[in-house]
Structure 1
Amino acid sequence: MALSQKHVSWLKGLIFILALLPFFRLVVFTILDKLGANPVEFITRNTGDWTLYFLCIALAVTPARKLLNFPWLLKLRRMLGLYGFFYAALHFLTFLWFDHFFDLQDMWKDVLKRPFITVGFIAFVALVPLALTSTNGMIKRLGGKRWQLLHKLVYVIVPLGVLHYYWMKSGKHDLMQPLIFAAVVATLLLARLWWHWSAQSRTQASA
């Protein structure tokens, strides 16, 4: 299925607006004092959830493109990944601001002390270069191959994010949602491995 550039632009604009709705919801809930008994926890969980939602959706773009034969989906992947970073940045800012009041030394002690925070911090730091190199100009500067190699970090970042979520929830014995995320990510990564292996097999057979 092919879409014209105009239709793709309209779709990107719609997704851009819809992707901001969770953020606007947090703003409205803050103004109306509807964040519950623990506002910091509400914001932390909400931004963390949406980080994983968008990163998983971005990972799903290529499998969906292959299965549905929708090449235009690739034009949405970068924006979806950037929204994943946006909510990850809000998630980290909440941790730095409300949990540690911008005390970097205290934050660092917390990162080293608790494994689930260590894993989440590593995942966020690894996301930063992906976000910074998401422009067309950076792709040209790095070169296509180096840019693609760098952005393969997402295959490590997303599982780390799921592990961060799993460890955080394991203390409360609330593992259903982390396990769903783990199943989704495992399926997406296995699908990519399968296609990669199939392509290599076809290449070797042709040779």
Structure 2
Amino acid sequence: MNQTTRPSAKAGGEHPADASATSAYELVEKDLRCQIDREASATAGHIRSTTDALCRDFWLEPLSPEEVFTAITHAAEQGNIRAQLDYALYASRIFEDERNSLDPDLIRDYKQNTVRFLESAGAAGESNAYVRLSDIYKNGILASKDPVMAYAYAEAFFRTGSSRYGASFLNNAAAGLDGAQLRRGKELANHLLSKRGASR
């Protein structure tokens, strides 16, 4: 694959000067779609989302986990909302290398970046970021478990989203919280939504 179309995997996380956030994200997305289609091609009834022409280079030389990590981080840092939403999925490939999966600094950065990028996407107007943040604080995997924060993000989603499941999502997040916790969650949601308004 032509080096000008791929992000560099150098230790410093460099990327080609002409690579925009959008092209970096699209590169990562196309690579994944091509690999999925290739692996699923033997499955009866699989409908491809790619073409041979699109995937030829990716099949010959798929992006390394380091290249994916560099590209998706660059795209998210530059404000690409789709990259911010999908950061956790794509960046997690870096942990396919066992050395990286044992690196506490990389793990910490991955967790912090996931939350930071989702917060940025939410402030920019992407309501689905609030769903993911609510789940993060509810489950306590990428951040410390915090049911009030989980409720606050669910409240923010309910008030800004258009999903018909918003009310049930909010009710689920409210389960087990007392009146003071619910009031605190609403205050936090107000703060989140004021940041959203200020960034637009």
Normalising TM by the smaller chain, what interval? 0.3 to 0.5
Return the TM-score normalized by structure 2. Answer: 0.33
Structure having the larger proportion of residues in helix:
1
Name the TM-score, length of structure 1 as normaliser: 0.32
Which has the higher relative contact order, 1 or 2, with Cα contacts under 8 A spaced 6 or more apart? 1
